[in-house]
């Protein structure tokens, strides 16, 4: 039985190589993932039995308050942390097997919260070249990749600037370019906009949405900004180390009480419609997210 299945899989993968890619649309796959920082049995579990799949090419926002486990989950995705229980697969590779370590780290790039902590060089283009240099990419190819990455994030004109003189949003875009120069399949961003002003936030968000749309990059955005999550294909809400909601932004944000119980905000628009539904008993769609949707729904009450 077992062998026959293997044979069939082998047959499919040989006969139609494209099938393999189709079968692996689950790019990141967590199976009963648990994690605690200490080895003792009573140590607090930061992640409890998390099972989650992220499709290749999707844009997933992971929401949660501080301490909900969202960053810990993110750090498993490029093997900064290893599961205490369960497994995590990246593109079919088990992260706990050391032979996959470098492959996974090149395929999944990470961007962190503080723009000042992740730039290493004194010139922008040297900073972007850092990862491909370490990977042993030939110099000519490095030049090509650095230009491509800097153009993608709209920072090519700043290539010979000093990173410390740039704005926070610009620094984060350099950090993203540094990841892009590795040619990853997936980029995981851990609260990349938390320290930025509104303009910097917009720059970074536009950049990652464009990457997702135009290059098919899988994007996992860890955030506690609802408006950022509302723009994702899918929203995963974490609380106390577990996934408490998972769906489209409309599906998730319409569960106002659940979101609040997780220490998060709902957008003012959703809040208003929710109040009209629950306090005033009015028949309105629960999934109003944008200003237009909320205004249209309320306006209908008066028509």
Q: Which residues bind other proteins (CB under 8 A)?
A: 65-67, 113, 167, 191, 194-195, 197-200, 224, 263-265, 267-269, 271-272, 275-276, 280, 291-292, 294-295, 298-299, 301-302
- Nearer of residues 7 and 301 to other proteins, judged by Cβ: 301
89 vs 158, beta carbon nearer other proteins: 158
Which H/E stretch holds residue 269?
helix 268-278
What is the nearest approach in angstroms of other proteins to the Cβ of residue 192? 12
CB of 284 to other proteins, least distance (A): 11
Q: Is the dihedral of CA 181, 169, 74, 82 positive or negative?
A: positive
Closer Cβ to other proteins, 43 or 295, answer by number: 295
Q: Are 238 and 70 in contact (CB under 8 A)?
A: yes
Instruction: Calculate Rg over the CA atoms of the chain.
Output: 21
**Measured from the CB of residue 274, what is the shortest distance to other proteins in angstroms?**
11
* DSSP one-letter string for 70-106: HHHHHHHHTTSS--SEEEEEETTEETTSGGGHHHHHH
CB of 233 or CB of 271, closer to other proteins: 271
Report in angstroms how near the CB of residue 20 gets to other proteins at its nearest: 40
3-state secondary structure of 50: strand
Nearest distance in Å: CB 136, other proteins: 37
Residue given tokens 């399949």 in the structure block? 185
Name the residue nearer to other proteins (CB basis): 57 or 285. 285
Extended beta strands in the chain, E state: 26-35, 47-55, 59-63, 85-90, 93-94, 108-111, 186-190, 218-223, 234-239, 242-247
Residues 6 or more apart whose Cβ sits within 8 Å of residue 280: none
């Amino acid at each position: 039985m077992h062998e026959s299945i293997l044979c069939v899989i082998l047959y499919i993968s040989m006969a139609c190589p494209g099938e393999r890619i189709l079968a692996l649309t689950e790019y990141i796959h967590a199976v009963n993932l648990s994690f605690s920082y200490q080895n003792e049995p009573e140590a607090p579990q930061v992640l409890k039995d998390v099972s989650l799949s992220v499709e290749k090419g999707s844009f997933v926002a992971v929401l949660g308050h501080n301490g909900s486990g969202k960053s810990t989950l993110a750090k498993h995705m490029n093997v900064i942390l290893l599961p205490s229980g369960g497994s995590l697969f990246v593109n079919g590779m088990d992260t706990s097997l050391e032979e996959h370590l470098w492959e996974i780290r090149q395929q999944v790039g990470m961007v962190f919260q503080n723009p000042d902590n992740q730039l290493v060089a004194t010139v922008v283009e040297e900073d972007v070249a850092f990862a491909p240099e370490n990977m042993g990419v030939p110099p000519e190819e490095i030049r090509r990749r650095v230009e491509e990455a800097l153009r993608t994030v709209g920072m090519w004109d700043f290539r010979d600037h000093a990173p410390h003189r740039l704005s926070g949003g610009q620094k984060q875009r350099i950090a993203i370019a540094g990841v892009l120069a590795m040619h990853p399949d997936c980029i995981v961003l851990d609260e990349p906009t938390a320290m930025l002003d509104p303009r910097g936030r917009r720059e970074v968000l536009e950049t990652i949405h464009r990457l997702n749309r135009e290059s098919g990059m899988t994007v996992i955005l860890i955030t506690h900004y609802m408006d950022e999550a509302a723009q994702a294909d899918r929203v995963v809400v974490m609380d106390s180390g577990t996934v408490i909601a998972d769906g489209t932004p409309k599906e998730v944000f319409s569960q106002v009480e659940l979101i609040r119980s997780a220490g998060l905000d709902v957008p003012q628009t959703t809040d208003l419609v929710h109040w009209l539904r629950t306090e005033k008993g009015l028949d309105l769609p629960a999934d109003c997210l944008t200003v237009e949707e909320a205004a249209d729904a309320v306006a209908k009450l008066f028509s």
